[in-house]
Amino acid sequence: MTRTITLSIAAVLLAGCAALPVTSALAQADPPVAEAPSPNAIVDAAPAADWVEIAPSDLMVMQLAPDAQGKPRRVVIQLMPPPFSQGWIGNMRKLAAAHWWDGTSVNRVQDNYLVQGGDATEKKPLPEGLAVVPESEYMTPIAGLPERVSGEIGDQAEARTEMTYYARQGSEAFPRVHDAYSDYSLFTMGWPVASNDDAKSVWPIHCYGMVGVGRDLSPNTGTGAELYTVIGHAPRHLDRNIALVGRVIDGMEYLSSLPRGHGQLGFYTEDESPTPIVSVRLANELLVNQRPRFAYLSTDSAAFAQYAEARANRRDPFFIVPAGGADICNIPVPVKAYPWVKPAE
């Protein structure tokens, strides 16, 4: 069960000092200390087999109107895999297929909170056949997850992933993911999720860039037509209160740098200009030569564990005191774009 994580020599040397101020490697002229790899260097060195390509049918491509200089603004959203939030995601697939979002807009930008878009008039007819998703689906039963992960959480014993284990126990060498919002926070299937000691369900976490479904007051759960993205400190109080359906993996800056709205809750006032949404398509509906290609670093890989550990215990020359821990939202899952290769004709 216990997977061995290979650490660099420098990492092992420093592991015992994680909670103490240590002199920067650069400042120590003699003896020379091997420079520990930074989190980014670990990601760059990850073997190709650790990267999981995202299916085009799980990529949602949103074209905003070009910016003031005429430059295109493309935002790419990765949808969550089953068993997470599939009712809403099914609706989103129907809305995209119907080109429903074309001509809607981003009409709410609340600083340190979220950007929201959809039909500002709330009068545009929705496609027929959208599901009404129950509130129970804000959480996912453990039984719906792959055996490896569900068994590990369900055991309530030492048989957990390292991330889960260290979330409870803390460690100098591994992230101490003490969480103010749950008993556990961990990564599964490429996503940050949380769970409680009862280990009956897990739920996705509102980290920066996560995409959720706007809704009215309970018992309304939203259709998936109004979407928002987190643009500030993780608003974890929304976890289990609203559906998360994906995350922005490219073009986040086009949302996060939009002018803030000055109406209630950050909605734009009549004097302010919403940003037009030109089109939203699933990548598999695009021509092959227009499809973006992305992969994420498998959260089950040794490279990810090493990356997460390095995020929690920085040994880059800049740092003098490694934190000895990390908030799960401060360990973003690495994503990379593949250069597009024109298929043979």
CA–CA distance from 263 to each of 1, 151, 235, 247, 271 (Å)? Answer: 53, 48, 20, 26, 10
Reduced to 3 states, what is the DSSP secondary structure of residue 135?
Answer: helix
Q: Is 84 in the site for a copy of itself (CB under 8 A)?
A: no
How far, in Å, CA of 158 to CA of 146, rounded?
A: 18
* Number of CB atoms found within 10 A of residue 104's CB: 22
Among positions 311, 315, 333, 335, the unique one binding a copy of itself when judged by CB under 8 A:
311
Q: Is 321 in the site for a copy of itself (CB under 8 A)?
A: yes
Contacting range for a copy of itself; rule: CB under 8 A; set: 55-63, 124-132, 144-152, 321-329:
321-329
How far, in Å, CA of 45 to CA of 60, rounded?
A: 28
Any residues with CB less than 8 A from the CB of 280 and at least 6 apart, and which? Answer: 60, 61, 62, 63, 95, 96, 99, 100, 101, 102
Among positions 111, 148, 169, 290, the unique one binding a copy of itself when judged by CB under 8 A:
111
Q: Is 192 in the site for a copy of itself (CB under 8 A)?
A: no
Residue 217 or 341 with smaller CB distance to a copy of itself: 217
Residues 203-232 that bind a copy of itself (CB under 8 A): 207-209, 217-219, 232
Among positions 193, 252, 283, 335, the unique one binding a copy of itself when judged by CB under 8 A:
252
Contacting range for a copy of itself; rule: CB under 8 A; set: 17-25, 29-37, 45-53, 99-107:
17-25
Residue 67 or 158 with smaller CB distance to a copy of itself: 67
| Burial classification of residue 100, based on how many CB atoms lie within 10 Å of its CB (0-12 exposed, 13-18 middle, 19 or more buried) | buried
Q: Is 21 in the site for a copy of itself (CB under 8 A)?
A: yes
- Angle formed at CA 57 by CA 52 and CA 59, multiple of 5 degrees: 70
Among positions 253, 288, 290, 338, the unique one binding a copy of itself when judged by CB under 8 A:
253
Which residue has 């499809």 as its token pair? Answer: 291
Q: Is 1 in the site for a copy of itself (CB under 8 A)?
A: no
How far, in Å, CA of 230 to CA of 215, rounded?
A: 15
Instruction: Give min distance, CB of 180 to a copy of itself, in A.
Output: 4
* Number of CB atoms found within 10 A of residue 330's CB: 16
The two three-digit tokens of residue 46, written as one number: 């990850």
Instruction: Give min distance, CB of 304 to a copy of itself, in A.
Output: 17
Instruction: Give min distance, CB of 188 to a copy of itself, in A.
Output: 18
Contact residues: a copy of itself, CB under 8 A: 19, 21, 23-24, 26-27, 68, 109, 111-112, 135, 138, 175-181, 196, 207-209, 217-219, 232-237, 239-241, 252-253, 256-260, 311-312, 314, 317-330, 332
